[in-house]
Structure 1
Amino acid sequence: MSLKTLSAKNASELDKDLMSSGAFSIDQLMELAGLSVSQVVYHLQPLSKGNRILVACGPGNNGGDGLVAARHLWHYGYKPTIYYPKQSKNELYQRLCTQLKTLDIPFTEDFQSALKETDHIVDAIFGFSFSGEVREPFPAVIEALRDTKLPVTSVDAPSSWDIEDGPPSSGPGKGFQPDALISLTAPKPLAKWFKGRHFLGGRFVSPQIAQKYDLEIPKYEGLSQIVELPSGEGKL
C-alpha cells in the first residue's frame, strides 16, 4: 500500500478542517496524537526492555504531543522524564504540564545528563511547521539525538528535517536518522528519505476529509491507534 503524502501547507489546512467541519478541538487532536505516539513507544520499547523514557519537547504543538504521550506512558508503567526548555505560556500547554507534575513526572533542564539515565528517547521538538535555523538550546540536543546509541522515535518529523526536502545537508541535524518515525494524519514528503520503522497515527480522519485531501486511510487493527508502514512509505 502506497500512501499519499501531505505537504506542510495541506497539513495546516487539514488541521483547520478538522477543527471546523470536523468539530475537533485542538485539545482533542493533541490527545489523539499523543496517544498514538505512546502506542508506538509501547510497541517498540516493551517494559521488559527498559521503562525509562526521555521526552524532548519543543515549544509548539509537536511538544504538546510529547507531553500527552508522556502522561499515557506513565499510566502504562513507564518512567518518563520531560525535557521542555521553552515552555509555552499558552493555557493548554500549562495544563498538560500540570497533569504531568501531579503524577510526579520529573522535568529536567540537563538533556545530556538525562540521556545517561534513559532507555528510549521521544523526539517531539519540531513538527511539520518547522523551517529555518535550529535555535538554542536545541542544536546540541539534536546533535545528541543524532549521535546517541539509544533508540529514538520522532514525532511527525525528525527534528531539523525540512518537511518537503528531508534531512538537512548541514547543521546539527545533518546525518540524523531516528530509529522510528510516527507520521500524524498522513506521511509528509520527508518520509521518502526516512530509513527506519515508520508508523502512522491518524485514526480520526473522516472519509470526507480524506477524500478532500486525496488521502488513503489504512486499516487499523482492533483498538490500535497506529499502523506500521513500509520504510520510505509515501508518494508525492
Structure 2
Amino acid sequence: MALKTLSAKAAAALDRDLMCTGAFSIDQLMELAGLSVSQAVYRVHPISKGKRILVAVGPGNNGGDGLVAARHLCHYGYQPTIYYPKRSNNELYQRLAKQLEDLDIPFVDDFQTALQSSDHVLDAVFGFSFSGEVREPFPAVIQAMSETKIPVTSVDAPSSWDIEEGPPKSGIGSNFHPDVLISLTAPKHLAKHFRGRHFIGGRFVTPAIAEKYDFDVPAYEGVDQIVEVGPDGSRL
C-alpha cells in the first residue's frame, strides 16, 4: 500500500474547502494544527529528555502553527523559546505572539546562540506554500538545523524542501533531514522522500473531504490528535 499524498495545489484547495464548505475559521484550523504539533513533540521528546524547546517561526501559517504549539508545550511543562525574526502585521499572528508573551515565553534574536542551550528544535519556518529562494535570515537557520545533533521536528514540511520533489539537489536545505515530520491534514508529496518518524495530525477532516482529495484519514485513538505512520501510510 502506497502512502497517499497531496500536491501543494491540492493542499491549498483543501484548506479553502475546510474554511468554505467545512465552516472552519483560520483560527480554528491553526489551533488544531498547533495542538497536533505539540502532541507530536510530546510523543517523540518527553520532558524527561529535556524541557528546552527552540521554536523557529516563519512569517506565514506554518509559523502560526508553531506559535500555537509553543503555547501548548508551555502548558505541558516545557520551556519554549521563540525565534521569530519576521513578525507579521496580521492581527491573528500578533494575538498568538501576545499569548506567548503573557506566559513569559522568551523571544530571541540569535538562533545560533539559542540552539546551543536547547534540547529539541521545532521547525515552523516554511510550510506547503513555500516555493522559490530561501530568503534572509533563514538560510543560516536551515543550515544550523541541518548540522545540529539536537533532534528537529518539522511542521508539515522540512523548511526549504520542494513540496513536490523533497530536499533540494544542492544548496540550502540539501542536507536538511529532520528527525520527525508532522503532516497536517494529510501528507504532502514530499513525505515520500522523508525517512524519519512521521506523524499525521488532522482529526478534523471529514470523510467527504478525504474522499474528494483521495487520501486516508487514519484511525486516531482516544484523545490523540496525531497518528504515527510508516512509509506506506500504515499506522505504527
Task: Give, in angstroms, the shift of residue 231 of structure 1.
Answer: 3.5
Helix, strand or coil: the match of 1:221?
Answer: coil
Tell me, yes or no, if the aligned pair for 1:52 and 1:78 is still in contact at 8 Å.
yes
In the alignment, the residues of structure 1 paired with residue 85 and residue 92 of structure 2 have an alpha-carbon distance, to the nearest angstrom, of 17
In the alignment of these two chains, the number of paired residues is 234
Task: Give, in angstroms, the shift of residue 215 of structure 1.
Answer: 1.6
In the alignment, the residues of structure 1 paired with residue 193 and residue 233 of structure 2 have an alpha-carbon distance, to the nearest angstrom, of 9
Tell me, yes or no, if the aligned pair for 1:193 and 1:232 is still in contact at 8 Å.
no
Tell me, yes or no, if the aligned pair for 2:159 and 2:173 is still in contact at 8 Å.
yes
1:96-175 equivalences in 2 (<5 Å): 96-175=96-175
Task: Give, in angstroms, the shift of residue 2 of structure 1.
Answer: 3.9
Task: Give, in angstroms, the shift of residue 3 of structure 1.
Answer: 3.5
Helix, strand or coil: the match of 1:164?
Answer: coil
In the alignment, the residues of structure 2 paired with residue 231 and residue 34 of structure 1 have an alpha-carbon distance, to the nearest angstrom, of 23
In the alignment, the residues of structure 2 paired with residue 66 and residue 2 of structure 1 have an alpha-carbon distance, to the nearest angstrom, of 29
Note if 1:92 corresponds to 2:92: yes
- One-letter amino acid matched to 1:40: A
In the alignment, the residues of structure 2 paired with residue 155 and residue 196 of structure 1 have an alpha-carbon distance, to the nearest angstrom, of 13
Match of 1:20? 20
Tell me, yes or no, if the aligned pair for 1:191 and 1:232 is still in contact at 8 Å.
no
Tell me, yes or no, if the aligned pair for 2:164 and 2:190 is still in contact at 8 Å.
yes
In the alignment, the residues of structure 1 paired with residue 37 and residue 218 of structure 2 have an alpha-carbon distance, to the nearest angstrom, of 17
Tell me, yes or no, if the aligned pair for 2:3 and 2:232 is still in contact at 8 Å.
no
- One-letter amino acid matched to 1:98: K
Match of 1:223? 223
In the alignment, the residues of structure 2 paired with residue 22 and residue 183 of structure 1 have an alpha-carbon distance, to the nearest angstrom, of 20
In the alignment, the residues of structure 2 paired with residue 179 and residue 49 of structure 1 have an alpha-carbon distance, to the nearest angstrom, of 15
**Gapped regions of structure 1 (runs ≥ 5):** none
Match of 2:181? 181
Q: In angstroms, what is the RMSD of aligned CA positions?
A: 1.1
Helix, strand or coil: the match of 1:92?
Answer: helix
**Gapped regions of structure 2 (runs ≥ 5):** none
In the alignment, the residues of structure 2 paired with residue 232 and residue 179 of structure 1 have an alpha-carbon distance, to the nearest angstrom, of 18
Match of 2:199? 199
1:38-53 equivalences in 2 (<5 Å): 38-53=38-53
Query: Following superposition, which runs of at least 4 residues in structure 1 exceed 3 angstroms of deviation?
Result: 231-234
Aligned identity (percent) is 74
- One-letter amino acid matched to 1:148: T
In the alignment, the residues of structure 1 paired with residue 124 and residue 231 of structure 2 have an alpha-carbon distance, to the nearest angstrom, of 20
Give TM-score scaled by structure 2 length. Answer: 0.97
